[in-house]
């Protein structure tokens, strides 16, 4: 029986995305709610009178927490994300290699072999994106 490595790698990547972006997000949110309730409500008799149970605390927290986190996320996307992406691109060795070959080609320093290898590599990426 032959195992398709690409299929396994794709499922592994999807598992990591599902775990990191969705399952761990939900678990950490529940954990945050439980810890906050225990710290702020269960330890204080006045707060216990105001917020008598975990369900009410969760509703109150979500009503305030979600809009605040949306505003922070919006700010991050509008101001910080482009800076982070720029820094990542400046440190990307593949992008640097491609740019070097393009520059060398323009000034006549690239070998035919380098150009062919880059074209083949980019064709593979292009063909994979079509799938």
State the average pLDDT for the chain: 87
**pLDDT of 131 strictly over 60:** no
To the nearest 10°, the Cα dihedral for 47, 49, 55, 56? -80
**pLDDT of 130 strictly over 70:** no
Segment among 8-17, 65-74, 104-113 with least mean pLDDT: 104-113
Contact 119, 110 (CB under 8 A): no
């Amino acid at each position: 029986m032959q195992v398709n490595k690409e299929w396994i790698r794709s499922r592994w990547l999807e598992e990591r995305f599902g775990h990191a972006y969705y399952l761990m997000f939900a678990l950490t949110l529940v954990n945050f709610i439980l810890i906050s309730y225990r710290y702020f409500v269960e330890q204080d008799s006045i707060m216990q009178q105001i917020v008598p149970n975990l369900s009410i605390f969760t509703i109150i927290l979500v009503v305030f927490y979600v809009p605040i986190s949306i505003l922070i996320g919006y700010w991050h996307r509008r101001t910080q994300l482009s800076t982070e992406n720029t820094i990542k691109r400046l440190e990307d060795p593949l992008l640097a290699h491609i740019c070097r070959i393009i520059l060398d080609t323009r000034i006549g320093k690239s070998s035919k072999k380098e150009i062919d290898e880059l074209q083949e590599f980019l064709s593979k990426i292009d063909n994979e994106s079509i799938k």
